[in-house]
Amino acid sequence: MPSRFVRPLCLFRALAAASAMIAFTIPTVQAAGSECSTRGADIIRQAYPDAQPVSKRKFRIGDETILLPTDVGNHPHELICKRWPARPELMLVAAPLMTSQSDDGNTGDVELLVLESDSLKLKQRLRLPGLLTDDAFFVSRVALDTAYYRLSVSDLAFGLRIERRGSSGPNPFGETTLWLFVINDGALRPVLDNIVVAGHQGEWDTNCTGQFQSIERTLAMGYSSPNSYSDIMITETKTNTISTVGRDGGCLNKETKAQTVRHLSSRGFVYQVPADLKRIE
């Protein structure tokens, strides 16, 4: 490969890898594990009594289908199961309910389920319409996030992360979005909606010249008050890279970084996410 191609391609790959790493390699973010592999069919039958097996891995519920996970890799349209480390008596499940799937796009919802870990008795459920519907960007990964999101003395949240990517070579794009949920008064409800925690995008000539941006956001919980949830401290790191052709014909990269800290407060018991922190629709 000619040297002028190496640096921009490596840069693009690094931006994509950074986005994926922030979203999915921390220990608390995991895809479908042994619980889904060994008990997935029982979980589906418990949560969806009318489910009919179509194949060894696929179940149909009316016009929708659910896939059991394979042992290799992660597929965004497969069942995801995870015991909640902070509450091991509970199992968290993200069930992809797909109404259509093709190379041109997909249509589907995610339903979150909370079950008793041992008996698989269903305790709570919450349907999230359209989260697996593709448009300009395709859903490339889904994961449950059980980091220790302590919102108050009584409420502990868990998260759902969804990664989306674009397919354009000249305009690379990827982002990971986080939702948070709590079990309160016997119901499962969302408390934080659609905040981008990692992403990358750019525009280049596919040879060298171009500009790339990446962003990483980490969340840290603050102190709570009796009438509201904890403030969330968001540390945001933005990296801008400009690539140009040097005198020797090689590709030169100039990188600048900026870090800011923002505070996200709740109104009552729901966080209001500013529009500039939400994903592109």
- Look at residue 13 in the predicted model and tell me its pLDDT: 43
pLDDT band at 18 (very low <50, low <70, confident <90, very high): very low
Please compute the mean of the pLDDT values over residues 240-246 and round it to a whole number.
94
Q: Is the pLDDT of residue 17 over 70?
A: no
Q: Specify the number of domains making up the chain.
A: 1
For residue 239, is it within any domain? yes
Q: Which range has the worst mean pLDDT, 9-13, 40-44, 158-162, 213-217?
A: 9-13
Query: What percent of the chain shows pLDDT beyond 90?
Result: 71
- Look at residue 226 in the predicted model and tell me its pLDDT: 74
- Look at residue 131 in the predicted model and tell me its pLDDT: 94
Residue 162's domain spans which residues?
3-268
Q: Is the pLDDT of residue 21 over 80?
A: no
Q: Is the pLDDT of residue 11 over 80?
A: no
Q: Is the pLDDT of residue 46 over 90?
A: yes
Contact 160, 179 (CB under 8 A): yes
Q: Is the pLDDT of residue 136 over 90?
A: no
- Look at residue 65 in the predicted model and tell me its pLDDT: 96
For residue 39, is it within any domain? yes
For residue 195, is it within any domain? yes
- Look at residue 223 in the predicted model and tell me its pLDDT: 81
Q: Express each pLDDT in 178-209 by its tens digit.
A: 999 999 999 999 999 999 999 999 999 999 99
- Look at residue 22 in the predicted model and tell me its pLDDT: 34
For residue 263, is it within any domain? yes
112/18: higher pLDDT: 112
Please compute the mean of the pLDDT values over residues 99-126 and round it to a whole number.
94
For residue 62, is it within any domain? yes
- Look at residue 14 in the predicted model and tell me its pLDDT: 44
Q: Express each pLDDT in 143-157 by its tens digit.
A: 999 999 999 988 999
- Look at residue 224 in the predicted model and tell me its pLDDT: 73
For residue 238, is it within any domain? yes
- Look at residue 194 in the predicted model and tell me its pLDDT: 92
Q: Is the pLDDT of residue 166 over 50?
A: yes
25/147: higher pLDDT: 147
Please compute the mean of the pLDDT values over residues 124-130 and round it to a whole number.
97
Structure-block tokens of residue 109 = 């919802």
For residue 277, is it within any domain? no
Q: Is the pLDDT of residue 72 over 80?
A: no
Q: Is the pLDDT of residue 4 over 60?
A: no
